[in-house]
Amino acid sequence: MELKEEIIRRAAAAKMAANKLANIGTDAKNKALLAMAAALEKNKDDILFKNEIDVDAAKESGLSDALVDRLTLDDKRIGSMIQGLKEIVELKDPIGEILSTTTRPNGLKINKVRVPLGVVGIIYESRPNVTVDTAGLCLKSGNAVILRGGSEALNSNHMLARTIAAAAYEAGLPEGAIQFVETTDRQAIMELVKLDRFIDVIIPRGGEDLIKFIREHTKIPVIFHGKGVCHTYVDIDADLKMAEEICFNAKVQRPGVCNAMETMLVHKGVALEFLPKMAARYQQAGVELRGDAKTLEILKGIKTAREEDWAVEYLALILAIKVVDTFEEAVTHINKYGSQHSDAIVTNNKQRAEEFLKLIDSAAVYWNASTRFTDGAEFGLGAEIGISTQKMHARGPMGLAELCSYKYEIYGNGQVRK
């Protein structure tokens, strides 16, 4: 079968499944999710074997350490997928929720009711856990899903998708609810994004080039996960020990993810005391530091930060550092160079912290905490379909509610419009 025909066949099957899923009860969906979790546990060794093939190939091709880390599965990460599915089971089913009720003067009763989006197309790179997390969220919210992962994770994603789809269908969900595009041919993406008669929304999860390509070539609504140029601002009134722990975690704990800090801003009033200790910890952890002129006066021998460094998502052990004269300068810098993802302030000044929370135009804004918490599971969503840096419909970590739309159900007793 030709590629175009195969993609159309899968999308049409997903559409048929979505029509059925929209009316399947919570118990049936939860049963399928638990079956998927059990299947992952049962097939863990096979999943790890397939993942090892992908990881070895990635290393041979020269993929960066951070991207290899995103690709790699182990017992703990598979356990997190399993736990994520179980947590989704515990979450309230959003479908059928009445968001509001209005009774008009003419007697019409109007209910605003939450409904699924329909068919969700996920186009993603590197991280195999996306296969499971997104499928679980889509099914619980009554949506069918079409998965197209990156070539670097093909074996892992194929095994994961095959495992959870078989379990879901055996548990009673409609065939076609989980579709995985097996080819690595980029033309598959081009065919997918044309199918607005079958696919209701596209969610790209990957680099800027992928997102730009999809936005330019589709008429389907796109909810995109923008890059994560995340900041932490260490204020003049910060607890410096707390700031050190937060900044270290935000950069080092897992540098290859979108909620890792890429730029650290430090008030000039604490820079001389804070930066040498912080830099020593970073350098011990292998972090490459790039600083502005004021930072270079304090930290001798580090690289000079160029203008373009302020807007870079490194996804690696690289950190840009800027010493600022005022709180206002920090806010201006973040709003100019940031990507509206996640930004933090460390301070004991409550009034200044509340100003920061209001003034920073990002999806997640933190006071005295690491940006690494911008994550569906950490926010209590069970998992996430992505982190939207847009402002329409969904913003920040996207869970069950963000995979829904709504419709109006109107009850009358013979009313006609005059």
**Domain locations in the chain?**
3-223+398-411, 230-373
Q: What is the pTM of this model?
A: 0.83
Per-residue pLDDT at 206: 78
pLDDT at 209: 84
185-235 tens-digit pLDDT? 889 999 999 999 999 999 998 777 888 889 999 999 998 877 899 999 999
- 110 forms beta bridges with 102, 410
Per-residue confidence (pLDDT) for residue 90, from 0 to 100: 94
pLDDT tens sequence across 35-72: 999 999 999 999 999 999 999 999 999 988 878 988 99
Please tell me the predicted confidence (pLDDT) of residue 262: 98
What pLDDT does 161 receive? Answer: 97
Evaluate whether the domain defined by 230-373 bears CATH number 3.40.309.10: yes
Q: What is the pLDDT of residue 89?
A: 96
* Cβ-Cβ contacts under 8 Å for 269 (sequence gap 6 or more): 236
**pLDDT < 70: residue spans in the chain:** 1, 382
Q: Give CA–CA dist 309/312, Å, rounded.
A: 5
CB 291 within 8 A of CB 322: yes
pLDDT at 217: 92
* Residue 211, pLDDT score: 86
What integer pLDDT is reported at residue 1 of this predicted model? 60
**CA–CA separation, 170 and 405 (whole Å):** 28
User: What's the pLDDT score for residue 393?
Assistant: 78
CB 25 within 8 A of CB 206: no
Q: Please, what CATH class does the domain formed by 3-223+398-411 belong to?
A: alpha beta
What pLDDT is recorded for position 221? 93
